[in-house]
Amino acid sequence: MPPLYRIAEVVLFSILNFLPYLVIALYPFHKNLRHSMRLTVLLITIIIFIQIGIGLCVAFLLPSHKGLLTIASTTIYFIFYFGAVRVHPGKTLFTLLLISNIANFVVVSSKCLEGFLFPEQALQQNRWSYSALMFTIQLLVLIPLFLYIRKFYTDAVGRDNIHISWWYLWLIPATFYLIQYSYIYGNTTSGLEIALQPQYTVFLLLINLGEFLVYHIVVCLIREYDINMELELQNHLFALENLQYSSLKERIEETRKARHDIKHHIAVINGYLQAGKIDKLKDYLANYCNSLPDDGSIVFCRNYIVNLLLLHFAQQAKENRITFTVYVDIPEYLKIAENDLSVILGNLLENAIDACNAQTNGERKIIIHGKSEGKTILFTIDNTFEGELKQNSDGIFLSSKHEGTGIGIESVKYIVRRYNGIYRTEQKDGMFYSSVLLNSHE
């Protein structure tokens, strides 16, 4: 039975080596926790006790199995973290590796400083001197890091942005992690001996400064991309509003001209009647009716954004001689973000227009159905197409505009997943059928 002060030292080290980093790693996604705050805190408490138990086993019971126990500790940490937050896995992995790299620097620099100040205790595991120095360095490193994360990083990763780059951005901190790992374990020198060498601490410091600069550049680029996307969406909505205004203005002008000219048409009609030229009158009335402005409703549905999008693409279809048929009944208010609706319908309708424009033969048509029942919203967009649609091995459609997969469809799939919905496609007999089902948030 080890003395109580040694047990207390191991417990303190286990908490310091786990809890501060977990709090900082969870903070950027505190609005996207998978569980309630109370349940999350309870799970964290359980994990802390597990980490303490592993630490005690490494120190006193199973020191020869330190490697396996360390792997088990890291695995538990990863599983909990990925299960605790509900965001893109690339964001989760990027954040976790970023924090892990900083934790490695804190551990090594603490041991190096302990070797200078307490050389005898530095050769032992998890002494109070080590924990005290680790806590001091954590205050110097983690507080500025937390302030940076709160001001910049959280805004970049906390949004529901749809960066396909998140699938590989995590490779940046992973590369730095492998560099540190290979430096420690890629030689015959023990990890303790390496940690006690000041040059390695300086090396880790430079590595962390360099990677932090890279992280900051990535964060700035993502924020700039999001700002540009928001501006593009606003410009798109302004364009749709302008389209509706222009269409309404054109109809008002046509109606005004028709009312102005009606007295001339009445005079001609009276002339044909007085002359008894009934056949001529019929032909004249038929031509007159054809010349009247279209009295069809310019409102496809009550929802403002959906109506604007349908108006925009209906105009494009008309200009390209595409039959555009709409059967949509969407209420004015939906519990779905307007930008999400814009991305989904905009991408699907744009793809349908492009497919029809690529046709060289046959009828070109687009048929849209939309309906809302309770919390469920359904859209189907069917269009004619010509040729063969190419897919990769994963069944993802390849873009016809550039090499690789279509970003627009992947954006649609990402939004659909966030609303626990379904996106399906089918191609048959020269028709492409796409459907989107969304479950609106409470």
Phi, psi of 322 (to 5 degrees): -110, 130
Per the prediction, the chain carries an average pLDDT of 83
Q: Which two tokens stand for residue 272?
A: 């044909």
pLDDT of residue 400: 54
User: 362-387 pLDDT, tens per residue?
Assistant: 899 999 999 998 889 999 999 999 87
Whole-angstrom Cα distance, residue 92 to residue 81?
8
pLDDT-above-90 percentage for the chain: 27
- Give the mean model confidence (pLDDT) for residues 399-406: 47
> How many CA atoms does the CB half-sphere of 174 hold within 13 Å?
10
pTM recorded for the entire structure: 0.64
The three-class DSSP label of residue 382 is strand
Task: Report whether pLDDT(406) > 70.
Answer: no
The amino acid at residue 266 is I
The three-class DSSP label of residue 397 is strand
Q: Are 222 and 163 in contact (CB under 8 A)?
A: yes
Q: How confident is the model at residue 402 (pLDDT cuts 50, 70, 90)?
A: very low
Whole-angstrom Cα distance, residue 155 to residue 97?
18
Cross-sheet strand order for the sheet of 422-428? 323-329, 365-373, 376-384, 431-439, 422-428
User: 234-278 pLDDT, tens per residue?
Assistant: 676 676 667 666 666 766 776 777 777 777 777 778 887 887 878
pLDDT of residue 395: 53
Whole-angstrom Cα distance, residue 252 to residue 249?
5
User: 39-86 pLDDT, tens per residue?
Assistant: 999 999 999 999 999 989 888 888 778 778 888 888 888 889 988 988
Whole-angstrom Cα distance, residue 210 to residue 221?
17
pLDDT of residue 401: 52
Scan for tokens 């059967």, then name that residue: 327
Nearest to 330 by CA among 381, 382, 366, 370: 370
The three-class DSSP label of residue 306 is helix
145: Cβ contacts below 8 Å, ≥ 6 apart: 24, 102
User: 313-322 pLDDT, tens per residue?
Assistant: 888 898 899 9
pLDDT of residue 404: 41
Whole-angstrom Cα distance, residue 92 to residue 86?
9
